[in-house]
Amino acid sequence: MGKFLTMREIHQAVDAIQTRIDIQPEVGLILGSGLGALAESVDDAVIIPTAQIPHWPISTVEGHQGRLVIGRLEGVAVIVLQGRTHLYEGYNISRVTLPVRVMQRLGCEKLVVTNAAGAINPDFVPGDLMLITDHINLIGMAGANPLIGPNLEEFGPRFPDMSQPYDRDFLAKAKLVCNESGLAYQEGVYVSLSGPSFESPAELRFLRGIGADAVGMSTAPEVIVARHGGMRVLGVSGISNKANLDGSTMTTHEEVLEAGTVLAPKLTTLIRGFLAKL
């Protein structure tokens, strides 16, 4: 395994999936920690454990099942990743984004990405949905951009534009769904860190200062790769905990997973409503 993903590896992963499905997925969905429930209700589901796909970065985190579910939601052909892999598991960041490359090669032009996130914005509380309006890819700005390495010309240019990482029309559709179904929502900027340690109070105050509303350990790398390949993206954070800017409380992974039980049904309503509007 080389440092960076190659077209050959991507093709081999795609082939392993394509031989087992007979639909062409239109929308890719990536479900975050504790938020995998939506995958259980996919119609005509074909389930592929990611461990059976060549070159797949295997997820080891509790709350992440590591499987692809291919089928239909609201009549839309989807491929759902339940259990993403994170940078902190030790893979090169370009390998962490293999699932997005595979979705692109399978024909998906749209991506819905979700995550569990800590609230930096003091107005947010656990259980809130936050529609992601923009991101700060702090890990990428610090040298772990998923597009570092040979550019895969088949997908996109060496220097891709990032003026609209999250599609404005998708964002408008998501708000419409929330309004129609009485779902409260927040909007804000998501900052991606590597983890696995949670943030210190000083780091959180820094993140607040640079304009972040929610913090987590995923998403921006996937979205950058999605945009590089021309996908349109909807991003949603499930707020799982309040980040402790004054050091008065602790953050735990159990807390993050617990919030999922409140968040998962809300996300299901939002994503199903969104898919129905495509």
Euclidean distance between CA atoms 246 and 155, whole angstroms: 44
Residue 11 annotated as catalytic: no
Residue 130 annotated as catalytic: no
When the beta carbons of 10 and 215 are compared against ligand HPA, the nearer one is 215
Q: Does 256 bind ligand HPA (CB under 6 A)?
A: yes
Fill in the DSSP letter of residue 39. Answer: G
Euclidean distance between CA atoms 127 and 90, whole angstroms: 30
Choose the catalytic residue: 33, 92, 94, 121: 33
Any idea how long the chain is?
278
For residue 220, give the 3-state DSSP assignment: helix
Min dist. Cβ of residue 11 to ligand HPA (A)? 33
Of 5, 217, 223, 264, the one binding ligand HPA (CB under 6 A) is: 217
Q: Does 128 bind ligand HPA (CB under 6 A)?
A: no
Q: Does 59 bind ligand HPA (CB under 6 A)?
A: no
Asked if 123 and 41 count as a contact pair (C-beta separation under 8 A), the reply is no
Choose the catalytic residue: 9, 13, 39, 64: 64
222-241 residues in contact with ligand HPA (CB under 6 A) are 240-241
Min dist. Cβ of residue 205 to ligand HPA (A)? 14
Asked if 213 and 119 count as a contact pair (C-beta separation under 8 A), the reply is yes
Euclidean distance between CA atoms 274 and 276, whole angstroms: 5
34: left (phi over 0), alpha (psi -120 to 50) or beta: left
Of 103, 243, 263, 275, the one binding ligand HPA (CB under 6 A) is: 243
Min dist. Cβ of residue 178 to ligand HPA (A)? 21
Choose the catalytic residue: 174, 212, 214, 217: 217
Residue 33 annotated as catalytic: yes
Choose the catalytic residue: 166, 241, 243, 264: 241
Choose the catalytic residue: 16, 26, 88, 109: 88
Min dist. Cβ of residue 230 to ligand HPA (A)? 28
Of 116, 171, 207, 267, the one binding ligand HPA (CB under 6 A) is: 116
Asked if 177 and 278 count as a contact pair (C-beta separation under 8 A), the reply is no
Listed ranges 59-67, 112-120, 130-138, 147-155: which one lies at the site for ligand HPA (CB under 6 A): 112-120
DSSP, residue by residue, 179-197: HHTT---EEEEEEE---SS
When the beta carbons of 116 and 225 are compared against ligand HPA, the nearer one is 116
Instruction: Please report, for residues 4, 214, 231, the alpha-carbon distance to residue 7 in angstroms, rounded to integers and kept in the order given.
Output: 10, 34, 18
CB within 8 Å of 85: residues ≥ 6 apart: 57, 58, 59, 64, 91, 95, 96, 99
Residues that bind ligand HPA (CB under 6 A): 116-118, 198-199, 215-217, 240-241, 243, 251, 256
Catalogue the active-site residues: 33, 64, 86, 88-89, 116, 217-218, 241, 253
